[in-house]
A and B are shown apart, each in its own frame.
Chain A
Amino acid sequence: MSAAANPEAAVAAFVEGMDTKRFMPDPRHYQIAVLSLLVAGGVLFLDIGIEPLGAAVIGIAALATQLLASRLAGLPRFDPLSAMVTALSLTLLLRTDVAALGALAAVLAIGSKFLLRIKGKHLFNPANVAIVSLLAVSDRAWVSTGQWGSATLSAFALACLGFLVLTKARRAETTLAFLLVHAGLLTGRALWLGDPLAIPLHQLQNGALLIFAFFMISDPKTTPDTAAGRLLYGAAVAGAAFVIRFAWYEPSAPLVALALCAPLVPVLDLLPGGDRYRWRRPGMQPENRPDNEESPDATTHENHHPAGDGRHHVRGRQHGSGLLRLLRGAR
Chain B
Amino acid sequence: MARADTALYNRASQVVLVRDGERTVITMANDFQGDVEDFAVVIPVPTFIEREQINVADMALIDHLDAYTSPRLVEYHDADPCARYENRARADAGMALPSSREADGLRLSRGVVTVEASYTVGEYDISILSASESSGLVAWLEENGYRMPAGAEPVVRSYLRQDMRFFVAKVNLDEQARLGYARLRPLSVAYESRRFMLPIRLGTVNAQGKQELFVYTLTRSGRVETSNYRTVKLPSNSEVPEYVENEFADFYRAMFARQVEKQNDRAVFLEYAWDMAWCDPCAADPLSADELRRLGVFWIDAPAAGAARRPLAPQAQNVFVTRLHLRYDSDGFPEDLEFHETGDRTNFQGRYVIRHPYRGALRCDAGDYHAAVRKRQEREALALADLTGWDLADIRARIDFLGEDSDGADEPWWKKLWK
Contacts and interface: CB of A to CB of B under 8 A. Distances in A.
Please say whether chains A and B are actual partners in one complex. yes
Interface of A: 46-47, 49, 95-98, 138-142, 144-151, 192-196, 198-199, 201-203, 206, 248-249, 251
A96 B343 contact: yes
Interface in B191-210: 193-197
A143 B247 CA distance: 39
B281 interface: no
Contacts of A95: 342-344
Given A206-B228, A249-B195, 5 more contacts: A47-B233, A151-B266, A196-B330, A198-B330, A249-B193
B131 to A, nearest CB: 15
Contacts of A198: 330-331, 334
Interface residues of B, number: 37
Interface in B20-76: none
Given A193-B162, A249-B195, A150 B229 contact: yes
A248 B194 contact: yes
Contacts of A196: 330, 334
Interface in B57-101: none
Contacts of A98: 343
A249 B157 CA distance: 20
B172 interface: no
B398 interface: no
Nearest to A142: B342
Contact of B343 (A46, A138, A248): A138
A249 B341 CA distance: 13
Contact of A192 (B161, B233, B335): B161
Interface of B: 154, 157-158, 161-162, 193-197, 221-222, 225-233, 263-264, 266-267, 330-331, 334-335, 338, 340-346
A138 B221 CA distance: 11
A202 B335 contact: yes
A42 B12 CA distance: 32
Nearest to A192: B161
Contacts of B331: 198
A234 B60 CA distance: 52
Given A140-B343, A146-B229, A249-B196, A151 B264 contact: yes
A97 B231 contact: no
B195 A203 contact: no
Contacts of A140: 221-222, 343
Given A193-B162, A202-B228, A251 B338 contact: yes
Contacts of A149: 230, 263, 266-267
B342 A193 contact: no
Nearest to B46: A249
Contacts of A139: 221-222, 341, 343
Given A97-B344, A196-B334, A251 B230 contact: no
B342 A195 contact: no
A194 B345 CA distance: 39
B288 to A, nearest CB: 26
A150 B266 contact: yes
Of B154, B195, B227, which is in contact with the most chain A CB atoms at under 10 Å from its CB?
B227
A97 B340 contact: no
Contact of A146 (B154, B195, B226, B345): B226
Given A97-B345, A198-B334, A203-B335, A144 B225 contact: yes
6 contacts: A97-B344, A139-B341, A141-B343, A145-B227, A195-B154, A195-B335
A142 B343 contact: yes
A95 B344 CA distance: 9
A201 B334 CA distance: 9
Of B154, B230, B331, which is in contact with the most chain A CB atoms at under 10 Å from its CB?
B230
Contact of A199 (B229, B233, B335): B335
- Of all A-B residue pairs in the complex, the 4 with the closest CB atoms, nearest first, are A140-B343, A251-B227, A198-B334, A193-B158
A141 B340 CA distance: 12
Contacts of B344: 49, 95, 97, 142
Contacts of A194: 154, 157-158, 161
Given A199-B335, A251-B340, A145 B158 contact: no
A146 B230 contact: yes
B346 A97 contact: yes
A146 B268 CA distance: 10
Contacts of B334: 196, 198-199, 201-202
Contacts of A145: 227-228, 340
Nearest to B229: A146
B286 to A, nearest CB: 22
